[in-house]
Amino acid sequence: MNIPGTETTSTHDSLLAVCLFAAFCDGEKSEREREQIGKIAEELGTGNLAPISRQILMGKLPIDMAIAEIRTREDKMLAYEMARGICEANGDISSDEEAFLAELKTKLSLENTDTAPIDEEVDALTLSPIEATPPQTLAPNNSGMILKYSILNGALELLPETLATMAIIPMQMKMVYRIGKSHGVELDRSSIKEFLATAGLGFGSQVVEGFARKLVRGFGKKLIGKTTGRIAEQITGSAFSFASTYAIGHIAEKYHSSGRTLSSPEIKNLYQSLSTQGKDLHNKHLPEIQQRAKTLNPAAILAMVRGTTPV
């Protein structure tokens, strides 16, 4: 069965459709984030992501048709895992997102016993404490720490696991928390989320992009499970995660060192310029990023997100 607007439909296309349904199912999501997701679909320039996105937004693609090619239990579990990760990207799940996940679970013929471990794993990432335990040393100059987090997040995007993509936002939040703490400010989760949103970084769109690039280049944790595929997409995804983390870190540093006087427009403008700078720096640090990726596995990622091991 073909998805309207496409010539052929693959399992990858159905999985991409689930990601987009998850991103769009919350009617409270900002128009800016929807635009970001649409831009991602166009920029990837491969597969059927862009036409699928348009069909969903126009209400012309029912969920039953979208998931038609998701047939094996492995693929059904992956579809639910990605949907849950996108819905919970900002640490909260709205009633609309809960309803969508329940519907998806039913339509994929998954039981609560099937999805409970996934729910627990995603919760462990998105609801983990933002402070480190034990507390990490705070330096008067945070540039080195920001670079360390940028390299880590660039490395996470090189890995095949969906868990790695879901860990990027929690690590960004931990970095912002540490920067605030170094300036004597104890930030909570909601204030950090608001800060990231002010910079223009969408939570759902960031996770959608990571998943989409993984699927386009042909692997996912439960789909194939090996790092093969399109190297260009792999490096591009790494560059985005490195650059966004680099930009957020330096904006947070400037924001706190200036007495938190930066306006929303100033923060957004800084994000654009620092992201460009970060993408240029990604090439310089790519060997370090690739080396860092070799040291990471799901257990190590979870330990860092939980704050039990340092970055």
301: pLDDT strictly greater than 80: yes
Which DSSP state fits 1? -
Residue-averaged pLDDT of the chain? 87
* Helical residues (DSSP H) of 184-263, grouped into ranges: 189-199, 203-216, 231-257
Query: Is the model's pLDDT at 288 over the cut of 70?
Result: yes
Is the per-residue pLDDT at 70 higher than 60? yes
Q: Which of the four pLDDT bands, split at 50, 70 and 90, describes residue 241?
A: very high
d(CA 230, CA 220): 13
pLDDT band at 42 (very low <50, low <70, confident <90, very high): low
Q: What is the dihedral of CA 38, 41, 43, 47, to 10 degrees?
A: -160
Residue 294, CB-side half-sphere exposure with 13 Å CA sphere: 6
Lowest mean pLDDT among 101-115, 200-214, 235-249, 287-301: 200-214
Q: DSSP state, 12?
A: H
- Of the chain, the percentage scoring pLDDT greater than 90 comes to 58
Name the packing angle between helices 11-24 and 203-216 (round to 10°).
Answer: 180
Give me the half-sphere count of Cα atoms (radius 13 Å) on the Cβ side of residue 289: 28
CA distance 101 to 95: 10
Confidence at residue 57, expressed as pLDDT on a 0 to 100 scale: 84
pLDDT band at 84 (very low <50, low <70, confident <90, very high): very high
Those residues whose C-beta lies under 8 Å from the C-beta of residue 87, and which sit 6 or more positions away, are: 22, 25, 26, 93, 94, 97, 100, 101, 204
The residues near 176 (Cβ < 8 Å, ≥ 6 apart) are 187, 192, 195, 196, 248, 249, 252
Instruction: Return the minimum-mean-pLDDT range out of 33-37, 149-153, 297-301.
Output: 33-37
pTM value is 0.89
Q: How many Cβ atoms sit within 10 Å of the Cβ of residue 28?
A: 8
Per-residue confidence band for 6, with pLDDT thresholds at 50, 70 and 90:
low
pLDDT above 60 for 117: yes
CB 246 within 8 A of CB 284: no
pLDDT digits (tens, 9 = 90+) for 189-237: 999 999 998 998 888 888 988 888 888 766 544 443 334 445 666 788 8
pLDDT mean over 56-66: 90
